Amino acid sequence: MSDQSIIKQIIGKTVKAIRIKQGLSQEDLAHECNVDRSYISMIEVGRNEPSVTKIFELCKGLKIKPSDFFKLVEVEYAKLQEKDGESS
Amino acid sequence: MSDQSIIKQIIGKTVKAIRIKQGLSQEDLAHECNVDRSYISMIEVGRNEPSVTKIFELCKGLKIKPSDFFKLVEVEYAKLQEKDGESS
DNA sequence: TTGTAGACTTTAGTCGACA
DNA sequence: ATGTCGACTAAAGTCTACA
> Rounded to whole angstroms, how far apart are CA atoms B72 and B68?
7
Give the predicted TM-score (pTM) of the model: 0.90
Q: Is the pLDDT of residue B86 over 80?
A: no
* Axis-axis angle for helices B26-33, B52-62 (nearest 10): 120
- The reply to whether A53 touches chain B by the CB within 8 Å rule is yes
Of B49, B60, B70, the CB nearest to A70: B70
Give chain A positions within 8 Å (CB) of B65. Answer: 74
Amino acid at B54: K
Confidence of residue B69 (pLDDT cuts 50, 70, 90): very high
- Report, in ranges, which bases of strand C sit under 7 Å from a protein C-beta: 1-6, 11-17
CATH class name, domain A3-87: mainly alpha
pLDDT for the residue numbered B84: 61
pLDDT for the residue numbered A5: 77
End-to-end CA separation in angstroms for chain A: 17
The pLDDT tens digits for A56-83 are: 999 999 999 999 999 999 999 999 876 6
Mean pLDDT calculated for residue range B55-77: 96
What distance in Å separates residue A50's CA from the closest CA in chain B? 8
Task: Using DSSP, state whether A50 is helix, strand or coil.
Answer: coil
Confidence of residue B88 (pLDDT cuts 50, 70, 90): very low
pLDDT for the residue numbered B3: 59
End-to-end CA separation in angstroms for chain B: 18
Candidates A15, A33, A67, A87, partner chain B, best to mutate (most B CBs within 10 A): A67
Domains of chain B, residue spans: 3-87
Distance B21 CA to C15 C1' (A): 44
- The reply to whether B64 touches chain A by the CB within 8 Å rule is no
> Rounded to whole angstroms, how far apart are CA atoms A26 and A24?
7
